[in-house]
Amino acid sequence: MMLIALYRKAMDNNMANTRESVGIYTFLNRGGVTVGNKIVVGPKVNGNMIRHYIFEKFVDLAIEHAKAHDGEYYLGLTSTALIKEGYRYPDKTPKVRYNGNWFFEKVEADGIEIHGVGKVKVQNGEIVEAEDVAATNGEELVKYFADADVFGYLIPSKSIKRTSILHVSDAVAVEGMIFQTVHARMKVSDEFEGLIEGGAKTQQRMVKETASGAYVGEVAVDYARLGLTEVVEGDTYRKARVISDSEYERRKKILNLAVAEVLLNPFGANMARNQPLTHLLDALIVVVKNAPIRPALTPPQYPDYIPKSIESVGDFIDTARGLGYRAKVEVYVYNYPLSEPPEFVKVLTTPEELRKELAGI
């Protein structure tokens, strides 16, 4: 099963992704967009940064889900996810704290064992106990830790890695829908102190670009690899799902809600200084079941991407079944008027509907 989400998002007065500074001037990150037979260069937001926001939401949602279940609950997060800093100072970190909760005591410095939290005990909506668990190979990482399964891992000392099941494109600006300006601020400088009468400090003007307009992008999730690992047995390689059906559904639900939160809410590398005003204009979410191929969707920088993509999905269903696949496709359209949607399309009009449908996929 796979999920593909195409979206258009308005971001006003944003510094969501900046690149190098030249002197006192900081430029927005830029990228090219193909429009017809020409390429237009405009602001963009790096896909790796958007993916990191989904990761942070995933961790937060996993913990909140645990707090909603009094008694024993399986959390399954690595220490890297819990402290969001990795093993920066392992010899100085006897315990790890996350949002007021102490989680585990064992931290390894050499990366041979990856530690994290397995089960937790919840009382009155708070985590009061946590069970330390360690993984020593790729199979255990996938089995024990949801974040390693979904977002991948790399252990250089053992030459094992896993690529993420989540794929995120850069969010690029739509031609004709971007307005750029500059944001100026003053920085107090000591450089010329004493040269001014009375020894007063000077002020240096700092300039950063901002942009307002529509950004478009894609998020894709390959659920066929969720909980799946390659197991080495002698000279034989085999693929095996190492998590239970209930754990599969839990990880999928949390990931879908994390994707929904990033689509609906602000994101950006400069949110601490400039949180953009955002609004999800529209979105197309396609869920493909029982087929290893995906439909050719129209990129969201084109205004009619939703009706054209729906037409492509209809053709895809016929083609996939003609190739012998029992293809089932569900399509969710957010905030886009459709007079007579096909039977495989469901139209959503509110953020609550979007969250509910994604959680249930």
pLDDT tens-digit profile of 242-256?
999 999 999 999 999
- Do the bridges between strand 202-222 and strand 25-28 make them parallel or antiparallel, or are there none, so unpaired? parallel
Give the single-character DSSP code of 357.
Answer: H
| Higher per-residue confidence, 244 vs 81 | 244
Q: What is the pLDDT of residue 100?
A: 54
User: How sure is the predictor about 92, in pLDDT bands with cuts at 50, 70 and 90?
Assistant: very low
The span from the CA of 306 to the CA of 283, in Å, is 8
- Does residue 284 contact residue 300 with C-beta atoms inside 8 Å? yes
Whether residue 88 is predicted with pLDDT greater than 50 in this model: the reply is no
Q: Is 307 exposed, middle or buried (0-12, 13-18, 19+ CB in 10 A)?
A: middle
CB atoms within 10 A of CB 238: 9
The span from the CA of 146 to the CA of 255, in Å, is 10
Give first-to-last CA distance, the chain, whole Å.
10
Residue 272 DSSP SS3? coil
Q: What is the pLDDT of residue 234?
A: 62
Give the single-character DSSP code of 227.
Answer: T
Our measurement of the distance from residue 211's CA atom to the centroid of its chain's CA atoms, rounded to an integer in Å, reads: 22
- Does residue 184 contact residue 15 with C-beta atoms inside 8 Å? no
- The pTM of the full predicted model, rounded to 2 decimals, is 0.86
For residue 167 the two structure tokens come to 């794929």
Whether residue 25 is predicted with pLDDT greater than 90 in this model: the reply is no
Under 8 Å CB-to-CB from 37, ≥6 apart: which residues?
Answer: none
- Does residue 4 contact residue 285 with C-beta atoms inside 8 Å? yes
The span from the CA of 107 to the CA of 85, in Å, is 13
The span from the CA of 88 to the CA of 181, in Å, is 38
Our measurement of the distance from residue 306's CA atom to the centroid of its chain's CA atoms, rounded to an integer in Å, reads: 22
